[in-house]
């Protein structure tokens, strides 16, 4: 592989790729085919230790098709998957790392997620960036692949990098400069914690792709955001991340999530991703910040009701205590992920006046942090009809 002789060996590539959560949202395309967004967006890549997609890709000389399974079930690969495969093959051909003949070699693709698929937990972002990163290794593609990933699913292009990532709209009509770039690696802000409250792990009603198209067609607020708000917010967010200014980061995150959901409501007919538990979390976080006299936590919601919360490690214990009191649960594994802070003795803080407990409305909480981009490992055997 990687020579002008094209593919000489059978490769199996295992890739693990992260989920990302946008703090300045992408919502709306100016070019649907090329997936060019109306505005820049910024996200935090989450640690693959707690949420990850895994994809194993192997070349199959016995077939010319694509065999695909997701979470143990054989599936027909989606159009997006096939598009990413086609784009990776043509990029490898362009770079000369494979020959025309090699493009007909079959692919066996086995994927799984360790978190609920399609419930607004950005599983498609992780899945598409995982596939493309695996194919990058299979076909020996050099350089940035975020422009390919973007065309499979917009938000997925931010999962190509770790840490804090900005996806630039770009200026070129062909989308060639609409790519993701790392603002800072995860190690830049090790104290940042992200909590994912799983309130609902069912498939969402309105997909992001169709929801944002309806918003582009009908929401005046979306146009206003794209023209006057979002890119300026990306500048302010980049500064907040660079300076590790949590209060600024948190306020921008909450304002942007609220504006995104306001646009959903401004879409005609309206789209409602938030449910009663989401709204209770919004109110709780504002009450907690007010009571603390400064911003200690922030929320953000994608196209689903599950809250993503941000805080710093020094405030994690008090925030988790607050959540446990507000959302009592009999679930013995209610808290998952980074739970070492539980070893400390609980703080004695009185939250009674801001609580309105509702049992079992949060199924469980994953505590995580910012993490690195996709990781691949390659296993090579000589090309034969049996590999
Ligand atoms: C609300 O990336 O899923 O999560 O490009 O059509 O695949 P397509 O949409 P998708 O939209 C994600 C929207 C969001 C906000 C974000 O992640 O920026």
**Per-residue three-class SS string for 44-87:** EEECCCCCEEEEEEEEECCCCCEEEEECCEEECCCHHHHHHHHH
Residue nearest to atom 14 of ligand 1 (CA): 302
339-363 pLDDT, tens digit per residue, is 987 767 666 677 888 888 888 899 9
71 alpha carbon, distance to own chain's centre: 18
Q: Residue 61: what pLDDT?
A: 84
CATH 3.30.70.890 spans which residues of the chain? 192-369
Using pLDDT thresholds of 50, 70 and 90, give the confidence band for residue 172.
very high
- Tokens of residue 16, six digits: 């693990």
Backbone angles phi, psi at 240, to 5 degrees: -60, -40
Pairwise CA distance, residues 215 & 221, whole Å: 9
Pairwise CA distance, residues 294 & 329, whole Å: 28
Among the atoms of ligand 1, which is closest to the Cα of residue 153?
A: 7
CATH of domain 192-369: 3.30.70.890
233-254 pLDDT, tens digit per residue, is 999 999 999 999 999 999 999 9
- The sign of the torsion formed by the CA atoms of 324, 122, 339, 293 equals negative
Ligand 1 binding pocket, CB closer than 6 Å: 22, 25-27, 35, 41, 124, 153-155, 208-209, 302-303
CATH 3.30.230.10 spans which residues of the chain? 9-189+378-382
- To the nearest whole number, what is the mean pLDDT of the chain? 92
Backbone angles phi, psi at 20, to 5 degrees: -125, 150
Which ranges constitute the DSSP H helices of 299-339? 313-326
Global pTM? 0.95
The preferred substitution site among 154, 178, 196, 300 for testing ligand 1, maximizing ligand atoms within 8 Å of CB, is: 154
Backbone angles phi, psi at 301, to 5 degrees: -130, 135
111-151 pLDDT, tens digit per residue, is 998 876 645 576 678 899 999 999 999 999 999 999 999 99
294-335 pLDDT, tens digit per residue, is 999 999 999 999 999 999 999 999 999 999 999 999 999 999
Using pLDDT thresholds of 50, 70 and 90, give the confidence band for residue 10.
confident
Pairwise CA distance, residues 227 & 300, whole Å: 22
12-24 pLDDT, tens digit per residue, is 999 999 999 999 9
Instruction: Please answer whether residues 296 and 289 qualify as being in contact, where contact means their C-beta atoms are separated by less than 8 angstroms.
Output: yes
Lowest mean pLDDT among 8-17, 224-233, 272-281, 362-371: 8-17
Task: Encode burial over 135-173: b for 16+ CB neighbours within 10 A, e otherwise.
Answer: bbbbbbbeeebbbbbbbbbbbbbbbbbbbbbbbbbbeee
> How long is the chain?
387
Among the atoms of ligand 1, which is closest to the Cα of residue 27?
A: 13
pLDDT for residue 212 is more than 50: yes
Among the atoms of ligand 1, which is closest to the Cα of residue 26?
A: 18
pLDDT for residue 2 is more than 50: no
Q: Residue 369: what pLDDT?
A: 98
150-167 pLDDT, tens digit per residue, is 999 999 999 999 999 999
Measure the CA dihedral 235/241/247/252, to 10°. 40
Among the CATH numbers 3.30.230.10, 2.70.70.10, 2.60.40.1180, 3.10.105.10, which is that of 9-189+378-382?
3.30.230.10
Instruction: Please answer whether residues 165 and 180 qualify as being in contact, where contact means their C-beta atoms are separated by less than 8 angstroms.
Output: yes
């Amino acid at each position: 592989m990687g020579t002008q002789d094209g593919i000489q060996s059978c490769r199996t590539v295992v890739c693990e790729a992260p989920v990302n959560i946008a703090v300045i949202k992408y919502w709306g395309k100016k070019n649907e085919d090329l997936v060019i967004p109306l505005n820049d967006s910024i996200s935090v890549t989450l640690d693959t230790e707690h949420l990850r997609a895994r994809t194993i890709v192997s070349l199959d000389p016995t077939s010319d098709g694509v065999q695909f399974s997701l979470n143990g079930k054989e599936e027909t690969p989606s159009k997006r998957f096939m598009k990413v495969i086609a784009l990776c093959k043509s990029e490898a051909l362009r770079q000369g790392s494979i020959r025309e003949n090699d493009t007909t070699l079959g692919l066996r693709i086995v994927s799984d997620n360790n978190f609920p698929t399609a419930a607004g937990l950005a599983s498609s972002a992780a899945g598409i960036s995982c596939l493309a990163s695996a194919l990058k290794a299979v076909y020996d593609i050099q350089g940035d692949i975020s422009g390919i990933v973007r065309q499979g699913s917009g938000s997925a292009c931010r999962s190509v990098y770790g840490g804090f990532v900005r996806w630039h709209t770009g200026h070129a009509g062909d989308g060639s400069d609409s790519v993701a770039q790392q603002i800072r690696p995860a190690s830049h802000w090790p104290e940042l914690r992200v909590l994912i409250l799983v309130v609902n792990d069912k498939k969402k009603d309105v997909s992001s792709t169709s929801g944002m198209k309806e918003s582009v067609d009908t929401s005046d607020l979306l146009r206003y955001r794209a023209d006057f708000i979002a890119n300026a917010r990306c500048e302010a967010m980049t500064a907040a991340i660079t300076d590790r200014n949590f209060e600024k980061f948190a306020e921008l995150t909450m304002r942007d999530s609220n504006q995104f959901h306001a646009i959903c409501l401004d879409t005609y007919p309206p789209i409602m991703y938030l449910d009663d538990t989401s709204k209770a979390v919004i109110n709780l976080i504002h009450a907690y910040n007010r009571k603390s006299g400064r911003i200690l936590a922030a929320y953000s919601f994608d196209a689903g009701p599950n809250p993503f919360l941000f805080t710093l490690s020094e405030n994690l214990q008090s925030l988790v205590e607050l959540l446990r009191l507000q959302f009592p649960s009999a679930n013995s594994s209610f808290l998952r992920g980074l739970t070492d802070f539980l070893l400390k003795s609980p703080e004695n803080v009185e939250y009674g006046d801001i609580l309105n407990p509702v049992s079992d409305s949060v199924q469980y909480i994953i505590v995580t942090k910012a993490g690195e981009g996709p990781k691949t490992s390659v296993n090579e055997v000589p090309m034969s009809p049996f590999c």
